[in-house]
Chains A and B, each alone.
Chain A
Amino acid sequence: MNDATTLTLYLGAIGLLAIGIGGLVLARHLFRVVMALAIAEAGANLLLVLTGFRWDAVAPILTGADRAPMVDPVPQALVLTAIVIGVGVQALALALAIRLRQAYGTLDLRLIRARMAAEIDGAAGLAPAGSRDRPAGERPLPPPQPAALPGETRP
C-alpha cells in the first residue's frame, strides 16, 4: 500500500504541473493562461510538501508531552510563502489581462499579437505587414543613409 500511495501522490503532483505548463503554452485565450498558471503553482507546492513527508509521523506542532516523530517543517514554511506569492502574481496577471482587453478589445492571443504588431508598425510609419511573405515596410527598400558623425549635419 505504501508504494501505491507514493506513486499516486507523485503522479498527482507531477500531473498537475504538466497539465499547468501544457495549458500555459497551448492556450489561445489569455484567461486560460492565468488559470493554467494557478494549476501549475498548486502542483509545484504539492511537490514541495511531498518531500518533507514521513510515514507514521504527526504534524509539526507540539501538543502534549509525547515526542512522536514529526514531518519536516522546513518545506512547509517555504510553501506557506510560495502560496501567498502565487496569488499576488495571479492578481498582477489578471490586471494585465484587463488592460489588454481594454486596449485591444479581445483576449485571443493571436488577435492581440496581430493588432499589436499593426499598432507598432503604424507608429513607426511603416505600411502594415500583409502576411509572412510580405513583412512591414515599403518595397523596394530605400537606399541606406550614411550615419551622421557628431558635429556634422546630415547631407
Chain B
Amino acid sequence: MFWIVLLMVVVMLASAVAALLLPNFLGAVAAVSVVSLGVAGLFVLLRAPDVAMTEAAVGAGLGSLLLALALRRLGLWRLEVQEETDHADR
C-alpha cells in the first residue's frame, strides 16, 4: 500500500502547486480536478467509500464544472490566455 499512497500523494501535491502556477487557467482548473480525484482515491485507500464517492462527485465533478462555467463567464476561457496582471486600461 505504501507505494500507491506515495504515488498518489506526489501527484496530488504536484497538481496543487501546478494549479497555482500555471498561466493557462484551463490547465489550472484541470489541476484542481486532479487534486480532488487524488484525494478521492486516498479516501478509498483509507476505507471511507462514502466520503470517496462524495469527494469524487462533488470535488472532481461538480466543483470543477462550477470552476469551468465561471471561467467562461469571467472571459478566461481561452487556450492561450495569460494571466492579466498590468492591464490598467481594461
Contact = CB atoms under 8 A, between A and B. Distances in A.
Complex A–B touching at CB under 8 A: yes
Interface of A: 1, 4-5, 8-9, 11-12, 15-16, 19-20, 23, 27-29, 31-32, 34-36, 38-39, 42-43, 45-46, 49-50, 52-54, 57-61, 71, 76, 79-80, 83-84, 86-87, 90-91, 94, 97-98, 101, 105-108, 111
**A-B pairs with lowest CB-CB distance, top 7:** A12-B9, A94-B70, A23-B20, A105-B90, A19-B16, A59-B47, A42-B39
Given A16-B13, A35-B20, A111-B88, A5 B2 contact: yes
Size band of the B side of the interface? Answer: 35 or more
A84 B63 CA distance: 10
B70 to A, nearest CB: 4
Contacts of B17: 19
B16 A46 contact: no
Contacts of B87: 106, 108
A58 B49 CA distance: 10
Interface of B: 1-2, 5-6, 8-9, 12-13, 16-17, 19-20, 25, 28-29, 32, 35-36, 39, 42-43, 46-51, 54-55, 58-59, 62-63, 66-67, 70-71, 73-76, 83-88, 90
A46 B39 CA distance: 7
B32 to A, nearest CB: 5
Contact of B48 (A20, A31, A49, A107): A49
B20 A16 contact: no
